[in-house]
Amino acid sequence: MSRILILGATGNLGQLAADALASDPQVTLRVASSRRSGYDRLKARFPHAEVVIADWYDRESLVKAMQGVNRVFVATPDFYTDEHLVTPNIISAAQSVGDIEQIVRLIAIPDGLTADRLSPEFLATRCGANLHVIAKPLLVASGLPVTFLNVPAWIMFNLPWFLAPEVKKHRQLAMPAVTDASRMWVSEGDISEVAARLLRGSAEDHIGREYVLTAAQRYNYQQIAGILTEELGEQVTFVDEEGPLREMMGDKFDTLMTYFRHETQAYGEVTHHETVVDLLGRPQVTVQDYIRHHRHLFI
């Protein structure tokens, strides 16, 4: 029997990982939020799970959340996480509890990327991989039983999040051209299923390992617009326009643009790994699959 804690269970990937584990009779599930509003949402979504409050910045709340579990999944949110504080708190809490058999940590780091290769300006964005280049070496040095789930690619939920409003209104893929790149895309469903597989399996098989999720193909904005055109049956055109992104991100827009200046360059050499096939025994979701399945979000 696995007793699993999901830290950050109100986040996209934490919630989906909890979904993947909730119906497993061999799993006792505990889900955590740092806020009362999140606690209430988790209570409604996971009526058979234990729901707790655990604040990344409050070590004692993390200790309480970890007591009685043997597996922990960690997926920290962009922009708001100071890994210089959060990861030491998680490490200290796990060491204090002493019964943790496995920590599965989500990261998004191209091979060889380390903090000393990043500018202070980029590190200050607390976005994407810059969170993880701080967290990973701390976890490695901690001596804790850690498994890394590394996704050095874009997650497909960004397709409807960034693109759907303008596609619906104007049949335009509207993004600043300076943010364009040939990117790998991995579905959130594949990520959460792999996370669940790592958490419910034999911990000994995965400790000290890093599982990399990538994609066999890359797409730029023009190619994504072509797939949208094919799946919607109407012409979708890529336009160089920052207005929709600026409106969506608000005061985080400039921070995100700083992140893009690094991200558009840093992931070009990432190679594909057949992790989904190896662990789940099925092909992974493609961009075309995803847009077809979520067509309703774009029309």
CATH of the domain spanning 2-152+187-212, picked from 3.30.530.20, 3.40.50.720, 3.40.190.10, 3.40.50.11540 = 3.40.50.720
Query: What's at 42, amino acid-wise?
Result: L
How remote is the C-alpha of 185 from its chain's centroid? 12
Per-residue exposure over 222-255, b if at least 16 CB sit within 10 Å of its own CB, e if not? eebbbbbeebbeeebebeebbebbeeebeeeeeb
Contacts 24+ apart (CB under 8 A), 41-45: 41/10, 42/9, 42/10, 45/15, 45/18
Read off the tokens for 276.
């989904």
Express each pLDDT in 19-69 by its tens digit. 999 999 999 999 999 988 899 999 999 999 999 999 999 999 999 999 999
Residue 114 sits at φ, ψ, to 5 deg, of -130, 165
List pLDDT tens digits, range 163-180.
999 999 999 999 999 999
Query: How many whole angstroms separate alpha carbon 288 and alpha carbon 275?
Result: 19
The confidence score (pLDDT) of residue 201 equals: 83
**pLDDT score for 119:** 87
In the prediction, which pLDDT does 292 show?
A: 97
Q: How confident is the model at residue 41, as a pLDDT?
A: 94
Report the pLDDT value the prediction gives residue 184, as an integer from 0 to 100: 98
How confident is the model over 190-214, as pLDDT tens digits?
999 999 999 998 999 999 999 999 9
**Distances, alpha carbon 131 to alpha carbons 87, 161, 177, 192, 259, in Å:** 10, 21, 25, 20, 12
Residue 262 CA to residue 182 CA, distance in Å, equals 14
Per-residue pLDDT band at 127 (split at 50, 70, 90): confident
Neighbours of 202 (CB within 10 A): 11
CA dist 216 and 271 (Å) reads 8
| pLDDT number for residue 82 | 92
Q: Can you give the pLDDT at residue 79?
A: 84
Per-residue pLDDT tens over the stretch 61-102: 999 999 999 999 999 988 889 999 999 999 999 999 999 999
Other C-beta atoms lying within 10 Å of the C-beta of residue 134: 21
Q: Give the pLDDT confidence score for residue 203 in this predicted structure.
A: 92
